[in-house]
Amino acid sequence: MDPARLAGRPPAPAGALTLDTARSVNELLGIDTRNVALPTTAVDLFENNDLLVPNKLNDDEQDGWLGAIAAGTGLLFLLNVFELGAIYDLGLSALIGGGLSGYAALRKDAFGDVSRSAGKVANKGALATFAKAKELNEEYEVSDKAKKKAIETVKQVTEKLKENLKQ
């Protein structure tokens, strides 16, 4: 039976992108770098440095490039190199880890091929993780329980604040 029907949702329309039919997370989320118009000076800079141009990548290259950026960001973030707090760590991880991985994946040599291949594997792994998380959420209603708990906590805090303000 269709998992959407089991979860009480109508099935996806024919031809719609789902976790089962998506080739990558970026396709599932609708990320397509080819829609971004780069200035000619930027395109020239990529081409003069023997790099692939991000908005001219085919589907496989785009999956590998974006997967490499995500993997580099995630790896550096998990290593906890910066220890400045989660938001700053994530920003620096994206800037440094994602930037270096993205650069490596845009190279036209064997190192670039390996980086894009690793990025494709990371992208597929992220898609599988996303699918499993969605499945577990549907089975155990984790997000609904978390939402209810958050609302309950906010109500309790509000009541405590009101009590403290009356004193």
**Tens digit of each residue's pLDDT (9 = 90 or more) over 68-102:** 999 999 999 999 888 888 899 999 999 999 999 99
Q: pLDDT of 59-70, one tens digit each?
A: 889 889 999 999
- Whether 13 is covered by a domain: the verdict is no
- Whether 151 is covered by a domain: the verdict is no
pLDDT at 18 over 80: no
Question: What distance in Å separates the CA atoms of residue 104 and residue 66, rounded to the nearest whole number?
Answer: 11
- Whether 161 is covered by a domain: the verdict is no
pLDDT at 53 over 80: yes
The secondary structure of 151-166, three-state, reads HHHHHHHHHHHHHHHH
Question: What distance in Å separates the CA atoms of residue 152 and residue 155, rounded to the nearest whole number?
Answer: 5
More confident residue, 2 or 10: 10
Looking at the structure of the chain, the number of domains it has is 1
- Whether 71 is covered by a domain: the verdict is yes
pLDDT grade, residue 28 (50/70/90)?
A: confident
- Whether 162 is covered by a domain: the verdict is no
- Whether 7 is covered by a domain: the verdict is no
Q: Which residue shows structure tokens 């880890």?
A: 97
Instruction: Tell me the two tokens of residue 127.
Output: 């898609």
Q: What is the pLDDT of residue 85?
A: 87
Give the residue numbers spanning the domain of 41. Answer: 21-141
Instruction: Tell me the two tokens of residue 113.
Output: 């091929």
Q: What is the mean pLDDT of the chain?
A: 84
- Whether 147 is covered by a domain: the verdict is no
Q: In the predicted model, what is the mean pLDDT of residues 31-41?
A: 84
